[in-house]
Structure 1
């Protein structure tokens, strides 16, 4: 399958219209187009670590206080409505300060209405090739699987017309292929984080865009973020 051209710029999902696809036999189209609604439902799926490492590589910790709800809203076209934002991550275990910073951020995202789905870090032992000693390490588990399962589940349940995938991880390709089989009228758009790219993932999506710095800078959470009786401050280390 030839690569799809990457949408230019960082505006709304103007490059998100893919070719018409003939529905499979027995497929019941409950999309907004089929039901006569004038608004397309957009769901956003965020690969937390893929985004984090892209942001960190681009600008250190300066842009980590990112409002995913606001960012997602800024990507919509006038005829689209945001149906949900889902953020997939795992709690860090190897650094107390990092754990505290992450906890504040996840609580802030939840206060903004983001659905945070947590995996886990699994401890493992690694043998040093130089000295032979055992070194304790941690491996992230379940986040990518949860991302793929939720995307496919939502597609089968007809919970979106457009899925915006904030990731450049080619491990997502099988899930993308499954969604295209099960919900052929849905459109799958890739929003690649800074410093991240995947030619393999791109060729299976209907369109892709790069997440630009202007969008990121314009979608930072307020500091402090006040939500009822709760107040969340940007970690002092994230400057």
Structure 2
């Protein structure tokens, strides 16, 4: 099984639970808790973008990404693109940022791993309906080759997508209990000897 985590979607789902402490999430532990006993994890990829222009948030993200990488999670970074948005009411403009490339990278990884036979089960952690395009591509590959790739969608907290439900073989919400039980230790000692501390803001 390959697991593909939409970091942006998951992050904001966790935020809506109202407990910053849950952001120190052990992705590997979370996945192993929801896998069935006969399933073998062969890929765990986390797709996100590097935060810009917010030094405290940048520092927290860097610590978290390094921590999960140290336990075997592959982190794939997109980017935030600066945009100027004009207020219709007052005419003033403000600077904002939009996440770019992460969704494309996630969808490409799912299709590539299915196409090469690396995985026969795809677990998508997201409620972004844009991911339907990648699932349709996997279905076309299966039809051409006479294979079957099972697609399971896991919805982050407080998030749903009817479109994803319809194209997935199975789906379920990521439960609060699994999240609470899948936290990194406050002080994580990585296999290489590096020590990572839970950001104080996430206490």
TM-score, length basis structure 1: 0.81
Tell me which stretches of 4 or more aligned residues in structure 1 moved more than 4 Å. Answer: none
Query: Is there any run of 5+ residues in structure 2 with no aligned partner, and where?
Result: none
Contact 1:170 1:200 in 2 (8 A): yes
Q: State which of 61, 68, 71 in structure 1 corresponds to 2:27.
A: 68
1:178-211 Cα deviation digits (max 9, x unpaired): 1112134110001101000001110000000110
Match for residue 230 of structure 1 among 191, 194, 201 = 194
CA distance in 2, matches of 1:137, 1:146: 22
SS in 2 for 1:80: coil
- What is residue 31 of structure 1 aligned with on the other side? none
Instruction: Decide which structure has the larger Cα Rg and report it.
Output: 1
Any stretches of 5+ residues in structure 1 without a counterpart? 1-41
Root-mean-square deviation (CA, aligned residues, Å) is 1.0
- Give per-residue Cα distances to partners, 1:36-77, cap 9 Å, x unaligned: xxxxxx110000010000010013312100011111111222
Q: Which has the higher helix share?
A: 2
Partner of residue 13 from structure 2, selected from 38, 54, 70: 54
Task: Please report how far the alpha carbon of residue 131 of structure 1 lies from its aligned counterpart in structure 2 after TM superposition.
Answer: 2.8
Summarize deviations over 1:101-145 as a string: whole Å, max 9, x none. 001000001001100000000111111223322211111100000
Q: In structure 2, what is the Cα distance between the partners aligned to 1:118 and 1:97?
A: 19
Structure 2 counterparts to residues 149-188 of structure 1, below 5 A: 149-183=108-142, 184-188=147-151
Q: How many residues align?
A: 198
